[in-house]
Amino acid sequence: MPSKRLLSGLVCAACALPQGSGLPAKESFTYNIEWRLFTAGKAKVDLTSATQPRQESQIHLRLESTGIVSKLFKVEDDYTAVLNSTLCTESTQMNAQEGNRRRETKVTYDGENKKAAYLERDLTKNNAIVLSQETEIPRCVHDAVGGLFFLRTLNLEPGQSTQVPVSDGKKSVMAKVEAQAREDVKTPSGTYKTIRYEVYLFNGVLYKRSAYLNLWLSDDRRRLPVQIRVRMTFTVGTINLVLEKHE
């Protein structure tokens, strides 16, 4: 089952979101997580969008392992991101329980001073500090999960690409997002016409791990994140998130 580091690499973002982007005030996405021919877990993402200037948006991700994977390595992760009205990240918090490992990670993004403060604690060792550091960031930067909703506003056509600022609090990079092709994707919620994107976060960009990340957005005004796939080495395999329900 993928760890929080893999999941945080599943999506990315770019510059500030224009006002009037058309994202709904509230949305919920439920995904099946497939790994090595198993249904490995469920992921649910809830978004409350800012509808007025200076309001904050909030994204909550709940990740749970299921079935045989949960018996081998139980995962229960809760991730919350607070974003300003242009989807620049202001703070994130991850509470992760993965096997016997329990960690709390908080990141505060200070765009005015162009600094991110990262603090990770081990909850199994009396909240002992695992890592505390500051990182330089641009004035507007995006965490990986929150960036999913910005990516829906880019409207890149196949053959087009852009560079986007992404940070996990420990490192800040400009990551390439490339629109590659139109494809039909079949999911439990229906078959969608989509555009496939590749997001360059792995292979030493933001994450050292060797992997390839693709995202399929519906080719309509909703720009729904229909499928997310991370292809890693043979020993790890491919992790696939497939949209089960959108509300």
Residues 163, 176 contacting (CB under 8 angstroms) = yes
What is the reported pLDDT for 71? Answer: 83
Its sign, for the CA torsion 83, 229, 37, 245, is positive
What is the reported pLDDT for 53? Answer: 67
Q: Cα 42 vs. chain centroid, distance in angstroms?
A: 14
Round to whole Å and give the CA distance between 100 and 123.
Answer: 10
Query: What residue ranges define each of the domains in the chain, with the CATH number in brackets?
Result: 4-246 (2.40.360)
Q: What is the pLDDT along the chain (247 residues), one digit of tens a residue?
A: 444 444 444 443 333 333 334 567 899 999 999 988 788 999 999 998 776 666 788 999 999 999 888 888 899 999 999 998 888 999 999 999 999 999 999 999 999 999 999 999 999 999 999 999 999 999 999 999 887 778 888 889 999 999 999 999 999 999 999 999 999 999 998 999 999 999 999 999 999 999 999 999 999 999 999 999 999 987 778 999 999 999 9
Overall residue count recorded for the chain in this entry: 247
Residues 64, 79 contacting (CB under 8 angstroms) = no
Round to whole Å and give the CA distance between 105 and 232.
Answer: 25
Residues 110, 91 contacting (CB under 8 angstroms) = no
What is the reported pLDDT for 172? Answer: 96
What is the reported pLDDT for 122? Answer: 96
Q: pTM for the complete prediction?
A: 0.86
CA neighbor of 243 nearest in space, from 214, 217, 212:
217
Residues linked to residue 239 through DSSP beta bridges, in sequence order: 35, 230
Structure tokens at 32: 């099946």
What is the reported pLDDT for 76? Answer: 95
Residues 215, 144 contacting (CB under 8 angstroms) = no
What is the reported pLDDT for 22? Answer: 56
What are the angstrom distances between the C-alpha of 247 and each of 29, 30, 60, 115? 7, 9, 15, 35
Q: Give the three-state DSSP class for 70.
A: helix
CA angle 237, 92, 168 (to 5 degrees): 50
DSSP state of 113: T
